[in-house]
């Protein structure tokens, strides 16, 4: 019998159990070499003689070893104790499971639920690109840290799409949890990344409503409802759910996999696209997650297409320049701190919390010329006023239609240490692939912008300021070069516009590595209504 104080692998001293399942117990432990607290997953002796379960337990370590993402619990070590009892060592996540969070608090705030689901989708994107389908996405397997990072865990029944799964699933066995089971999974058909998208849609439904969509008296009855019954609309269960989030749930949980989001990345982006006409707060993505999203998912790779069997290939394929249509429209992001006089920040208590802190006497007031960007001096009093923004969206009309959308909120979070970035290009002219990329700023009401304020990281390159979205109808009202700090760009007068775009026509040298890349830490407009 394993007990507190036991030494596992000659290195990890067990402290207390922090979780248990049918196959293993997870212990909080101390690494004797580093002194760090870790999580040790130790297989139960009573099941280690089962060759299928034994192989599945060991395979979990093989799966997680492939993945390096802040939204996936990190593998640290693995081995066996003297009696051949296997163990796996993971990073210790200080936080709670999403299931526990929902049980404690009931339905989550829409922005909080969207943030958590978007982060899980980002981790899933990497898994799917690595040829791995999780197959057991559920709120129990999502841990939310004190810093607001959502981490996916328990890859024990993940399917590897490169042959490593052979022989590990008994004939006629359906693996997964019925409350989150995709129809094709319940029917024993082929699975791919869209199977996980379905389950994540159920998790989002649960987070938004506080309940599961298909209650029944038995797991079999639940599975039958997953196959047969239409997904209920979250708005019918909880009227306060924003319609755009309800639409994401319904699309993710389509019975036909072809009708769902094509990839977890598409779902992650949709969750951050808050319609400008809505009232929902904008979800916040922790900076470390946004950075990982940029580095692991968007540079020259696409989610593989399903083959004739409905299973995606294990090898990533090059982008062909095309992108699948999205039935959930790309909507502009909704929130701007100065427009509502509040800032969302990551909270504690094991979840993404929202702390509203007014800007007090520092807030722009009508008739003043205070800059909407911290660190950028305002002009003469009475000359202009900060223009409230209703949305900020990425613009890439000449490319695949998006330019780091997951990082857009970092361009107006009030923190100059975080940035929206362009993708990294080999040359300053975008490799000759496009004319430019940028950020479109939607105003709460049409106005004449007289100045654009921004903070950037790294000098060089060129940009224009357009009245309107990029296209033949846009007017050039200003231009300049990135100064690698706080700067203001005067704009020419003209007719009022509801949208202004920072249009980058030449990239500066990448301030944090090789290639060419622009960084926009903060951005805002001044003008007259």
End-to-end CA distance of the chain: 73
Looking at the 3D structure of the chain, how many domains does it have?
3
Shared-domain flag, residues 123 and 223: yes
Residue 18 and residue 148 in one domain: no
Where in the sequence numbering do the catalytic residues fall?
136
How is residue 136 written in tokens? 């057991």
Q: What is the pLDDT of residue 283?
A: 78
Q: pLDDT at position 364, please?
A: 29
466, two tokens: 């357009």
Question: Are residues 286 and 372 both part of a single domain?
Answer: no
Q: Beta 142-145 vs 150-152: how paired, if at all?
A: antiparallel
Q: E strands of 146-273, at which residues?
A: 150-152, 159-160
**Does 21 map to a domain?**
yes
The domain that contains 70 carries what CATH number?
Answer: 3.30.200.20
- Give CA–CA dist 377/488, Å, rounded: 8
Residue 304 domain flag: no
* 3-class SS of residue 53: helix
CA neighbor of 280 nearest in space, from 312, 247, 258? 247
Report how far apart, in Å, the C-alpha atoms of 154 and of each of 48, 73, 139, 264 are: 18, 9, 11, 18
* Cα–Cα distance measured from residue 161 to residue 131, given in angstroms and rounded to the nearest whole number: 5
**Token output for 290:** 């946004």
Q: What is the pLDDT of residue 326?
A: 29
Residues 504, 506: Cα–Cα separation, whole Å: 6
373 within some domain: yes
Cα torsion angle, 158, 163, 169, 174, sign: positive
Residue 319: predicted pLDDT: 22
- Out of 91, 109, 126, a domain closes at 91
pLDDT digits (tens, 9 = 90+) for 480-502: 999 999 999 999 989 999 999 99
pLDDT at 281: 65
Number of other residues whose CB lies within 10 A of the CB of residue 380: 7
Residues 48 and 158 in one domain: no
Report the alpha-carbon distance of residue 161 to residue 314 in Å, rounded.
Answer: 5
Task: Tell me: do 117 and 56 sit in the same domain.
Answer: no
What CATH number is given to the structural domain containing 395? 2.60.120.260
Asked, for residue 428, whether it belongs to a domain, the answer is yes
- Same domain, yes or no: 271 and 148: yes
Q: Is residue 53 located within the same domain as residue 114? A: no
Q: For residues 449-487, b (16+ Cβ closer than 10 Å) or e, as one string? A: bbbbbbbbbbebbbbbbbbbbbeeebeebbebebbeebb
Q: Of 297, 319, 351, which residue is a domain's last?
A: 297
CB distance 365 to 371 below 8 Å: no
Q: Does 127 share its domain with 271? A: yes
Asked whether residue 339 is assigned to any structural domain, the reply reads: no
Domain range for 263: 95-297
Give yes or no: residues 381 and 500 share one domain. yes
DSSP 8-state code for residue 508 = P
Same domain, 175 and 205: yes
Task: Give CA–CA dist 357/308, Å, rounded.
Answer: 53
What DSSP line would sit under 73-85, residue for residue? PPEEEEEE-TT--
- The answer as to whether 382 is a domain residue is yes
SS3 64: helix
Tell me, yes or no, whether 202 and 225 share the same domain: yes
Residue 50: inside a domain:
yes
Q: In whole angstroms, what is the distance from residue 417 CA to residue 405 CA?
A: 18
- Residue 67 is assigned to a structural domain of this protein: yes
- End position of a domain, from candidates 297, 316, 343: 297
Residues 260, 223 within the same domain: yes
Strand-strand pairing, 519-528 and 437-456: antiparallel
Q: What is the CATH number of the domain that holds 283?
A: 1.10.510.10
Angle, helix 264-272 to helix 110-129, in steps of 10 degrees:
160
Quick one: how far is CA 333 from the chain centroid? 14
- 8-state DSSP, 510: P
Instruction: List strands edge to edge, sheet with 142-145.
Output: 95-97, 142-145, 150-152
Who's near 297: CB < 8 A, 6+ residues apart? 122, 125, 126, 129, 265
* Residue ranges in the chain whose pLDDT is less than 70: 1, 21-22, 83, 158-176, 276-282, 290-371, 374-383
Q: Which residue has the tokens 């909704």?
A: 334
């Amino acid at each position: 019998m394993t007990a507190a104080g036991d030494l596992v692998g000659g290195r990890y001293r067990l402290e207390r159990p922090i979780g248990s399942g049918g196959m293993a117990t997870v212990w909080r432990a101390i690494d004797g070499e580093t002194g760090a607290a870790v999580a040790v997953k130790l297989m139960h002796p009573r099941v280690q003689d089962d060759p299928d379960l034994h192989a599945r337990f060991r395979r979990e370590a093989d799966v997680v070893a492939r993945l390096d993402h802040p939204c996936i619990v990190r593998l640290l070590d693995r081995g066996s104790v003297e009696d051949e009892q296997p163990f796996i060592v993971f990073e210790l996540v200080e936080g709670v499971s999403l299931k526990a969070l929902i049980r404690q608090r009931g339905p989550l705030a829409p922005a909080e639920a969207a943030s958590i689901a978007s982060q899980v989708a980002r981790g899933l994107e990497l898994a799917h690109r690595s040829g791995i389908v999780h197959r057991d996405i559920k709120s129990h397997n999502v841990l939310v840290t004190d810093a607001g990072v959502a981490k996916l865990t328990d890859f024990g029944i993940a399917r590897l799409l490169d042959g490593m799964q052979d022989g590990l699933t008994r004939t006629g066995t359906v693996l997964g949890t019925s409350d989150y089971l995709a129809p094709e999974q319940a029917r024993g058909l082929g699975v791919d990344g869209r199977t996980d998208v379905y389950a994540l849609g159920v998790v989002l439904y649960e987070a938004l409503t506080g309940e599961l969509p298909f209650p029944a008296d038995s797991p079999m009855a639940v599975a039958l409802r997953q196959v047969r019954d239409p997904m209920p609309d979250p708005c019918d269960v909880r009227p306060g759910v924003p319609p755009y989030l309800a639409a994401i749930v319904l699309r993710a949980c389509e019975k036909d996999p072809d009708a769902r989001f094509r990839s977890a990345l598409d779902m992650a982006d949709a969750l951050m696209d808050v319609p400008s006409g809505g009232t929902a707060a904008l979800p916040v993505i922790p900076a470390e997650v946004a950075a990982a999203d940029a580095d692991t998912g968007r540079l020259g790779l696409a989610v593989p297409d399903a083959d004739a069997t409905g299973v995606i290939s294990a090898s990533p394929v090059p982008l062909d320049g095309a992108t699948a249509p999205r039935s959930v429209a790309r909507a502009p992001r909704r929130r701007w701190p100065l427009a509502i006089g509040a800032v969302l920040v990551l909270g504690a208590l094991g979840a993404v919390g929202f702390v509203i802190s007014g800007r007090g006497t520092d807030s722009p007031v009508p008739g003043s010329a205070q800059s909407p960007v911290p660190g950028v001096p305002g002009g003469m009093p009475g000359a202009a006023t900060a223009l409230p923004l209703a949305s900020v969206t990425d613009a890439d009309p000449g490319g695949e239609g998006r330019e780091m959308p997951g990082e857009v909120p970092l361009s107006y979070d009030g923190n100059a240490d975080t940035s929206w970035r362009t993708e990294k290009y080999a040359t300053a002219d975008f490799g000759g692939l496009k004319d430019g990329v940028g950020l479109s700023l939607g105003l709460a009401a049409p106005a004449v912008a007289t100045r654009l304020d921004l903070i950037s990281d790294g000098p060089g390159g060129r940009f224009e300021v357009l009245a309107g979205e990029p296209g033949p109808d846009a007017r050039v009202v200003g231009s300049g070069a990135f100064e690698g700090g706080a700067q203001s760009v005067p704009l020419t007068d003209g007719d009022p516009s509801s949208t202004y775009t920072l249009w980058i026509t030449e990239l500066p040298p990448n301030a944090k590595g090789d290639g060419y890349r622009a960084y926009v830490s903060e951005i805002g407009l001044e003008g007259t209504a």
